[in-house]
Structure 1
């Protein structure tokens, strides 16, 4: 694996250093050699080559996990809105966590066009996908996501609920913060702790104090 990555890095640097046109790098995306394809993906991303986006989207389904990760990273760096839905679809189905993380990071880099795909992923049957989508929406600080994230506070999975809390805290919408305050009385200690931490930031002292007053009304 290390030898392959060294070759990939060398080829990527060589393509850029030689001043190869973007078209030549795009041709490399069709190479039968996986190392060349990965190097080409890095090269077109460094060039910001929008014309490479359709081929990179196709490579999200490549049988090689390293290629899928490289394609996702390249699409994130290029930042094409056209890649948002395909990346979300890949994220939903990807079996390797490191590749899935690359897709999630790419979606965040793309920005606003990724909001709706991320919201769609909140309905996934996979808890890790729901949690990752909540994280992404928090990174994007999208107010469109506040209501879906509030609903996620009732998710059956603890990690998903905690991810939703942090996302709502990052967005900072008052409705979301009030919803977090209600979670401070959660019977799950980890969720309660996450809610308290989310409300402990500067500017949210009143919500935290309000939540603590609510807690004292309930038996432990």
Structure 2
């Protein structure tokens, strides 16, 4: 081992010892309730030294501690997120901002999501936007509406919308009027989550309306989701969907009618036994069997 290598190792060990001492000091002050979150110098050390440490467990401890401290750490974390020279620091800063979920971070997180050269930072920024909630929704919808962004980016934006869910409901309902198929697809997937989680009547009615959307993907999502929610007014609309021009929509409608268990669907499902597509005929047999079994169980009671 050369002298230069030994010197480098010594410097690394010394830096790590300083970081460990910093964490011990912060922990003691928090325990003794003497920690001052307005001590900017200390906060900067926690962010730049703690989150920049080469050891993953050390970074995690600082991230969790900063997360507990909360929004007062946001401005310094945004400085770290802008540090183009240190990808480890940017990754850790983004994950810490996910814990804090401060709406003030949305513009910087959007920039990191769309433009950072590191894919881990991109994905973590999408997660942070999702945790931030409603504040991020208009920008996420703009991404989906734009032809500028790749499908992978739009996929992350759609996931974030679905994660936000009910908190973004009003934005999602309005988004169903968009001319963009990507926007409507993301909105209907998120609305499906709202309908299943909250049994929201408005969300269910929007799913029903989506059964006649011009885009096959949206009709398919709506038909499939309506089988997961207990909403009787959807039954006649699902029956109409058995005549949809798209085979996947018809399959979803058949499956959903079998799941919801309304015996008024028996005759329309028997008609589906003559569908030109074999998968639909097979699914119709299964759905009819389920409904007939339910009908028989009702007669036995």
Q: TM-score when scaled to structure 1?
A: 0.70
The answer to whether residue 83 in structure 2 is matched with residue 56 in structure 1 is no
Aligned residue in 2 for 1:130: 154
CA contact (8 A) 2:178 2:184 kept: no
Contact 2:211 2:219 in 1 (8 A): no
SS in 2 for 1:18: helix
Aligned to 1:103: 125
Q: Does structure 2 conserve the Cα–Cα contact (< 8 Å) formed by 1:76 and 1:109?
A: yes
CA displacement at 1:181 relative to structure 2 = 2.0
Question: How far does residue 212 in structure 1 lie from its aligned partner after superposition?
Answer: 4.3
Aligned to 1:182, what secondary structure does the other structure show? coil
Aligned to 2:188: 165
Distance change (3 Å), C-alpha of 1:205 and 1:78: same
Corresponding pairs, count = 204
- List aligned pairs for 1:17-28, cutoff 5 A: 17-19=27-29, 21=35, 22=37, 23=39, 24-28=42-46
CA distance in 1, matches of 2:215, 2:45: 58
1:121 deviates by 2.4
TM-score by length of 2: 0.54
Q: Is the 8 A contact 1:169 1:177 kept in 2?
A: yes
Q: Distance in 2 between matches of 1:34 and 1:215?
A: 57
Higher relative contact order (CA 8 A, sep 6+): 1
Deviation at 1:83, TM superposition (A): 0.6
User: What's the offset of the Cα at 1:82?
Assistant: 0.7
| Cα deviation 1:7-40 (Å, max 9, x = unaligned) | 8xx9596465333634324323344982179464
d(CA) in 2 for partners of 1:212 and 1:13? Answer: 63
**Residue 138 of structure 1: how far off its partner (Å):** 2.5
Give the counterpart of 1:45 among 67, 76, 92: 67
Partner SS for 1:73: helix
Give yes or no for contact 2:204–2:231 (8 Å, CA) kept in 1: no
Conservation of the 8 A alpha-carbon contact between 2:52 and 2:92: no
Match of 1:214 among 233, 238, 241: 241
Matches within 5 A, 1:59-138: 59-63=80-84, 64-124=86-146, 125-138=149-162
- Say which of 198, 201, 209 aligns to 2:228: 201
Give 5+ residue unaligned stretches, structure 2.
1-15, 196-202, 248-301
**d(CA) in 1 for partners of 2:140 and 2:114?**
10
Which has the larger Rg? 2
Q: Is the 8 A contact 1:91 1:103 kept in 2?
A: yes
> Is this contact kept in 1: 2:211–2:241, CA < 8 A?
no
Q: Which runs of 5+ in 1 are unaligned?
A: 1-6
1:56, distance to aligned residue in structure 2 (A): 0.9
